[in-house]
């Protein structure tokens, strides 16, 4: 499969102070990459660098010809501000199309159809006219995932997508992400949860003591992988 995103010898930090260094990895079409690591290891800073929101202190991130970070659909950690969007569900989903408007001021019929199709993929088509504020936490996250899909050309980047959700709702969201990956969408997921890494990931990027990038099975056979399993309470 062809390479989409490549990071080479990244040093990440703020105001000259490094929080993570010597980071190299490559993401290809169809991959499911889980980014793991301790708090403060640089996961959020890496996300910002991939999205072009924060430049690395050194090293570089490159993209496949014809692809850029503008083609990454991003699902951020849910915040109280997101939860209080004064908009309908359809308006929230459609906002994911903003970068595709170009010089136009209105969404095209095909864009509207695509956005509502993404909402249908989340099983929420019947809620399109409902106020976003009235949704449950799990419904909100699925609406925001539909919004991210509207911006995604080939890649979805999910930052702690099940934070604050109950186990059943989390499992439903993971199933949706798995289905999207099987349909050809490349997934990058930042998570503290061991389950998507064990069950779904093709590759793992671990930030912290004992940096690792490679195939999932190789990670969980490595010293940092076995330590992460133990710390996560997984003893199988």
**Per-residue pLDDT reduced to its tens digit, 132-149:** 989 998 999 999 999 999
SS3 36: strand
Half-sphere exposure of 68 (CA within 13 A, CB side): 5
Confidence of residue 82 (pLDDT cuts 50, 70, 90): low
What pLDDT shows up at residue 124? 93
Tell which residue, 137, 6, 35, 126, has the closest CA to residue 82.
137
Average pLDDT over residues 85-113: 82
Mean pLDDT over each residue of the chain, to the nearest integer: 89
What pLDDT shows up at residue 83? 63
Alpha-carbon distance of 162 to 141, in angstroms, equals 8
What pLDDT shows up at residue 49? 94
**pLDDT higher than threshold 80 for residue 233:** no
**pLDDT higher than threshold 90 for residue 5:** yes
- What separation in angstroms does the CA of 12 have from each of 7, 8, 69, 204, 230? 12, 12, 18, 19, 28
What pLDDT shows up at residue 85? 67
**pLDDT higher than threshold 90 for residue 32:** yes
Tens digits of per-residue pLDDT, 191-221? 988 888 888 999 999 998 778 999 999 998 9
Rounded to the nearest 5°, which phi and psi values hold at 71?
A: -95, 10
**pLDDT higher than threshold 80 for residue 84:** no
Confidence of residue 33 (pLDDT cuts 50, 70, 90): very high
Average pLDDT over residues 154-172: 92
Average pLDDT over residues 27-42: 91
What pLDDT shows up at residue 192? 85
Structure tokens at 219: 């990670």
Confidence of residue 129 (pLDDT cuts 50, 70, 90): very high
Among 18-32, 90-104, 133-147, 191-205, the minimum mean pLDDT is found in 90-104
CB 116 within 8 A of CB 125: yes
**pLDDT higher than threshold 90 for residue 86:** no
Average pLDDT over residues 11-29: 90
């Amino acid at each position: 499969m062809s390479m989409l995103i490549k990071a080479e010898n990244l040093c990440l930090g703020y105001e000259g102070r490094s929080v993570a260094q010597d980071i190299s990895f490559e993401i290809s079409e169809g991959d499911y990459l889980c980014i793991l690591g301790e708090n403060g290891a640089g996961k959020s800073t890496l996300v910002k660098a991939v999205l072009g929101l924060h430049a690395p202190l050194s090293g570089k991130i490159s993209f496949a010809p014809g692809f850029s970070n503008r083609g990454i659909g991003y699902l951020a950690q849910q915040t109280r501000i997101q939860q209080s969007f004064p908009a309908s569900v359809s308006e929230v989903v459609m906002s994911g199309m903003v970068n595709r408007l170009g010089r136009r001021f209105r969404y095209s019929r095909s864009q509207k159809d695509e956005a509502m199709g993404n909402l249908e993929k989340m099983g929420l088509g019947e809620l399109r006219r409902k106020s976003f504020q009235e949704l449950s936490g799990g419904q909100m996250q699925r609406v925001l995932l539909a919004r991210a899909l509207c911006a995604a050309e080939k890649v979805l980047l999910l930052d702690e997508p099940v934070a604050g959700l109950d186990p059943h709702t989390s499992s439903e969201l993971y199933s949706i992400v798995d289905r999207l990956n099987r349909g050809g969408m490349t997934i990058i997921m930042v998570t503290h949860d061991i389950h998507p890494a064990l069950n779904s990931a093709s590759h793992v990027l671990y930030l912290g003591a004992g940096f690792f990038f490679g195939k999932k099975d190789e990670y969980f056979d490595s010293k940092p992988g076995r330590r992460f399993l133990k710390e996560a309470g997984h003893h199988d």
